[in-house]
Amino acid sequence: MNDGGQVLVTGATGYIGGRLVPELLSAGYRVRVLARHPERISSRDWADDVEVFAGDATARPDLRRALEGVDVAYYLIHALGSGSGFAERDRSTARGFAVVAREAGVRRIVYLGGLHPDAERLSPHLESRREVEEILLDSGVPTIVLRAAVILGSGSASFEMMRYLTERLPAMIAPRWINNRIQPIAVRDVLRYLVGAASIPPEVSRGFDVGGPDVLTYREMMQRYAAAAGLRPRIIRAVPVLTPRLASLWVGLVTPVPPAIARPLVGSLVHEVVAREHDIAEYVPDPPEGLIGFDRAVELALARIRDLDVRTSWVSASTPGAPSDPLPEDPDWAGGSLLLDDRSIEVDTTREALWSVIEGIGGAHGWYSWHLGWVARGLLDRLFGGPGLRRGRRHPQHLAPGDALDWWRVEKVVPGELLRLRAEMRLPGLAWLELSVEGEPGDRPTFRQRAVFSPQGLPGQLYWWAISPFHGIVFGGMQRNIARAAKEHGAGRRPTD
């Protein structure tokens, strides 16, 4: 295959970036990725085929290293749902990227922005996307901006929000702008445009509206999703009193999408977002069979979900505002200011059976202790803007570094030995849960469970000691029930002593 040139993908651990990388590799490009958490790249099928730079796109020294020798740079960064000040963070990051890209001699920038109307006051989210677009177009580097509305694909935040609303609510009250027109686009067509943008002639520097063949209201999208999923038609009543803020809180309670992310998504639906042109076809021609329509896009997404083949998801990226500090690897990591609940128990089962239960924790399997307490804590977390327990799992049995697991993030996996989770719930400090299988092969395994907390000031200390009386119920019950499940899972399969 011919060398298509060197490209850099930012946001490669995110929903679009994680799917774009293999498409670029298939098209013959040499791919480099910039990631704050390069360990999350290791579990991807394409990890060995790319050059990984550890760094932060907000740090210009990191950008200079990553952009050196790059022909095409993909800017897939935005501060969606990161709270107040997100627009300034988006603005600052885009300006820094534009300056360094120009200094590095990058030949082309490609940005995936948001489809928006002209001559209208935009929602904060769309206004920030428009501003980033202008910054990159004014960078002095030829730039292609692709403006998309709702992206249809398994794992897309917009798609998952629509899916859960439709599946969980046979009848609902919705904002009146549920009748606004939207031009959704299948993720496969978005990726095709993104790859094609890299080879657009350098004299072209502009934005393009991209959309699928269907223009629908959100109401129609939900009804057609229901039909594709084999559900009865939904009863939807529009009322004028639901503000974007109230609607986002409602979405946060019904779907896995937390209010901090639902708010900008819902706010964008206030506008009618329909493509004004289809000029991109001059440079990236439509396929002979045409663009993917809404119904077919939903069918493809549902097939991915049924086959457990959701390659990337909106939860691939960390929850905005969540801590990302790794657990110290020092042998004495339990000392200092770290507080610890450490429990070990020998289990009458095989190592394989114990590990299978550990790796399958969370999601539909739950947390093996005080279910009502976990549910209540999850609801409280969502009320304060955290992810709660509704993100679930990417796969029902297997975990990889970087996976979201309810309100945890998988930090480290050593198959058969160790699972380390970092909390992304709202806490006055940093927290980890470590589950491990210890002991010599052939012996009964020891299940070790460690909850670690790094308190933030006096509130963190008070939080730890306030919940300490419940550790026996939560952590003790978890350990006993995991051990019992592992014993039942391995019953009859232990080798004869």
Q: How confident is the model at residue 147 (pLDDT cuts 50, 70, 90)?
A: very high
Summarize pLDDT for 285-299 with one digit per residue, the tens: 999 999 999 999 999
**Best-predicted range by mean pLDDT among 297-306, 307-316, 341-350?**
341-350
Q: So what's the pLDDT on residue 127?
A: 87
Provide mean pLDDT across the span 260-267. Answer: 73
Q: So what's the pLDDT on residue 141?
A: 97
Q: So what's the pLDDT on residue 111?
A: 97
Summarize pLDDT for 79-93 with one digit per residue, the tens: 665 556 778 888 999
Answer yes or no: is pLDDT of 261 > 80.
no
Domain boundaries, the chain: 6-316, 339-489
Provide mean pLDDT across the span 268-276. Answer: 86
Q: So what's the pLDDT on residue 308?
A: 61
Domain 6-316 bears CATH identifier 1.20.58.1030: no
Summarize pLDDT for 160-176 with one digit per residue, the tens: 888 888 888 889 888 88
Greater model confidence, 100 or 467: 100
Provide mean pLDDT across the span 187-195. Answer: 97
Provide mean pLDDT across the span 117-127. Answer: 80
Q: So what's the pLDDT on residue 335?
A: 40
Sequence-separated (6 or more) residues with CB below 8 Å from residue 94: 75, 77, 131, 132, 135, 136
Q: So what's the pLDDT on residue 382?
A: 73
Answer yes or no: is pLDDT of 324 > 60.
no
For residue 245, the tally of other CB atoms under 10 A from its CB is: 12
Provide mean pLDDT across the span 301-312. Answer: 74
Greater model confidence, 436 or 329: 436
Answer yes or no: is pLDDT of 344 > 50.
yes
Answer yes or no: is pLDDT of 2 > 70.
no
Provide mean pLDDT across the span 204-210. Answer: 97
Greater model confidence, 493 or 71: 71
Q: So what's the pLDDT on residue 61?
A: 93
Work out the angle at residue 314's Cα, subtended by the Cα atoms of residues 196 and 184, and round it to the nearest 5 degrees: 55
Q: How confident is the model at residue 106 (pLDDT cuts 50, 70, 90)?
A: very high
Summarize pLDDT for 406-441 with one digit per residue, the tens: 888 898 899 999 999 999 888 888 899 999 999 888
Average pLDDT, the chain: 85
Q: So what's the pLDDT on residue 138?
A: 96
CATH number for the segment(s) 339-489: 3.30.530.20
Q: So what's the pLDDT on residue 313?
A: 60
